Structure 1
Amino acid sequence: MIIVGGDRGAKSFIALACNVLLLVMAVFIISHGVNPVLVTIIGTIIFCQITLIYQNGHNLKTYAAVISVVGVILLLSLLVSILGTKSNLGGYSELDLSSELSVYLSPNININMNQLMICMIIISLLGAVMDTAMAITSSLYEFNEVNSELTFSELVRLGFNVGRDILGTTVNTIFFATIGETMMIGILFIKNKYTFESVINSKEFYKNLFDLVISNIGCLLIIPISIFICTYMIKSNNSFIKKVKDYCQKMSNEN
């Protein structure tokens, strides 16, 4: 990373190490009984601080990306909480119950499995959402730097042009990642002669399908949300945005 990216590569490596440490701490805290959803939301804010602000600096595009990511994560947490709880998605699947995991490890760990499931899904899509948000806000910021005469609607239109290009590759990335993770499960279903009805009604299949669908919803939501938030922050002149711009300018000058 350092050879290819230079100073930015070094920052990326440090950010990666910090994220690994933060994730280990989050698992440790959850294992001691703290609400997994609360830990995940707080962790998301810190992840954004490390991954976005530390690597890209204090500027409007970075803050717009952070606000967009946190907003999408809150919306998805609510959606996953409602659908996951109603469908009893948390806990062991039928494949887990038939494996050595259920024989040697006790499932009675005093943690709400539905809340833990929300935590797992949110963390699994966080990288793709942050990447998409930063790509969108960086593009809009550069468009405005090249031509500051662009109106709000013109900048939004350009943002959606970029978003459509990003959407296809992002969705495919999530799809292939999910397929790669579940390939062994698919082979197990085939080898054990599961019927089509058994597969689509299995908890393991539903878990992976649910994860894939929520991840894609997150990537869909982040595009318009980041476009409108970033465009508003670039074009708005209200007192709050002026303070943010002044703060970003001050931090840039110090660096």
Structure 2
Amino acid sequence: MSTLTALIIVLAILMTIIGGETGIRSFFSVLINTLLLILVAMLISWGINIPILILIFIPLKLATIIFLGTHDYTVAKNSFYSSFLVCLIVCVLIIGCQWLAQAAGLGPEAGEVLVGLSQMPGLNYGMIAVAVAIFSALGAIAEAAVAMSSGLLEIKKHNPDISRKNLMASGNAIGNDVLGTAMNTILFGMFGSFLSLFLWYYRLNYTLGEVLNEKLFVNEALIIMYSLIGVILTVPLSTIFLTKGMEKHESEKKHESRKSNSN
């Protein structure tokens, strides 16, 4: 048994013990998302149109992350709507920034690994960079949407008569906490995965200008910025979607109760 297999088994056991049914569904969500990413990579390598793949797999991945990882349908539905809208906005931002940055492709650090291999495989490196950035930001956006929707729904359940103004204010308070934790998670994740490259830059005496113009660093920094912007946009949109959804649900219940009383 390999180390990876053992860790996957331990993860499945712990998620089942701690999360119960939701933990099991979350574990399968991770597996399905991994398979979807592998499928995306295979389809890109086969020459399938990358923008079409992005449009198809964004809702698939969001649905897998949110609906399998959340036990409440109201939370999942509103999280999906807000996440999908944010993803579309971020997609436009990513396409524009990637075109301006011109940081797609392979950096000089990969030169020794690719000696003797063709660096022109007939793939659009620019669109591949866009796809990587979009799928990297999806997780942070979906996580923030679920956190916002779950918190607001619990407030509504414990205080059914809360006004829309107070609910929005509570959403802003929850959003401040979500923003702080999400930003720290994203930034520390970047530094943790990028530490070896930072050591490379330091030991080879890279100047600040060389680091800021390095493809690997620029791509990673851009992905961090996309994720942060996506989380910032998710906070107000999740609050608006959920408050409107609750108001609509309550009005429908009142209408049904009046209809039943009249009959």
- Identify the match of residue 40 of structure 1 among 51, 54, 68: 54
CA contact (8 A) 1:129 1:219 kept: yes
Map of 2:112 onto structure 1: 99
Ranges in structure 2 where 5+ consecutive residues have no aligned partner: 1-14, 257-263
Which amino acid is 2:94 matched to? V
C-alpha displacement of 1:192: 1.0
C-alpha displacement of 1:91: 0.9
- Identify the match of residue 78 of structure 2 among 45, 64, 75: 64
Q: Partners in 2 of 1:227 and 1:104 — Cα distance? A: 53
Q: Partners in 1 of 2:155 and 2:129 — Cα distance? A: 39
SS at match of 2:115: helix
C-alpha displacement of 1:36: 2.4
CA contact (8 A) 1:65 1:134 kept: yes
- Structure 1 residues 57 and 7 mapped into 2: Cα distance closer, same or farther (>3 Å)? closer
Q: Which runs of structure 2 are paired with 1:77-226 in the superposition (5 Å)?
A: 77-96=91-110, 98-100=111-113, 102-226=114-238
- Percent sequence identity over aligned pairs: 26
CA contact (8 A) 1:41 1:73 kept: no
TM-score normalised by length of structure 2? 0.84
RMSD of equivalent CA atoms: 2.1
CA contact (8 A) 1:37 1:116 kept: no
CA contact (8 A) 1:35 1:115 kept: no
> Which structure's CA Rg is the greater one?
2
Task: Write the deviation string for residues 205-247 of structure 1: whole angstroms up to 9, x where unpaired.
Answer: 2222212211111111111111111111111369xx959xx9x
Q: Partners in 2 of 1:202 and 1:21 — Cα distance? A: 31
Which amino acid is 1:94 matched to? P
- Identify the match of residue 20 of structure 1 among 34, 47, 51: 34
Ranges in structure 1 where 5+ consecutive residues have no aligned partner: 247-255
Count of matched residue pairs: 240
SS at match of 1:236: helix
Structure showing greater relative contact order (alpha-carbon pairs closer than 8 Å, 6 or more residues apart) = 1
TM-score normalised by length of structure 1? 0.87
